[in-house]
Amino acid sequence: MNLQRAAGLVWGGWMLACPALAESTPGPLDMPVCSELELRVGGLFRVGTARLYLDDCGRARDDVLAPVPKQFSLELARRFSGQDLSDAAYDLLRRNLGLETDDPLPEPLACLARAYVDADVGDRYDVSFSPERGLALHLNGELLQSCDEQGPAEKYFLIWFGDQPFHRRMRDALLERAESTARSPYS
């Protein structure tokens, strides 16, 4: 399924997953899970589960686009083409960076955007950033691509958390849940 098509189908059919966040699988950066969101198509069919990882969940709105360690994960409940994911990443990055369709992306962003491969149900993509290691893309815990070039690598997270994200309601719910997790006496 095309990622942009999936974004349109998810319009009103997503819901927050409420499992204990501490039980979620740690990502490649081994950071705490700040929030989790289950995506559904039309309220019926699962698209996947999105997770946001940050060291300080209470600062999610400030840190998600800052040059601090972070990770976004998507565990798929549907099959996706690597080419569709790459095309969507390029489109969303260009849109959020204010670039024209033919403008090249900064190399750290292009490096990761072109690294997607076909993925099946149950596969998990992890996109991580740390100032020391740069950007990395993992599939099921295996490194697909590491991009340590200097530049605006943390901007890759504009795909999900920019002004024109993949899905605005997903962005808002992940950030709200991260902040409420930080305030919860049970987190």
Domains defined along the chain, listed by start: 3-183 (3.50.70.10)
> Which pLDDT value is given to residue 39?
80
Is the pLDDT reported for residue 108 higher than 50?
A: yes
3-state secondary structure of 128: strand
Q: Cα dist. 20→36, 61, 75 in Å?
A: 10, 22, 17
Question: pLDDT class for 15, splitting at 50, 70, 90?
Answer: very low
**How far is Cα 24 from Cα 187, in angstroms, rounded to an integer?**
13
Spatial contact of 47 and 5, defined as CB atoms under 8 Å apart: no
Is the pLDDT reported for residue 9 higher than 90?
A: no
Q: Is the dihedral of CA 93, 95, 98, 103 positive or negative?
A: positive
pLDDT in tens, 66-86: 999 999 999 999 999 999 999
User: Nearest-CA neighbor of 123 among 174, 67, 81, 65?
Assistant: 81
**How far is Cα 176 from Cα 187, in angstroms, rounded to an integer?**
14
Is the pLDDT reported for residue 150 higher than 80?
A: no
When mean pLDDT is compared across 56-60, 132-136, 160-164, the lowest value belongs to: 132-136
In this structure, the number of other CB atoms found within 10 A of the CB of residue 19 comes to 11
When mean pLDDT is compared across 8-12, 101-105, 106-110, 150-154, the lowest value belongs to: 8-12
What is the average per-residue pLDDT within 39-56?
A: 84
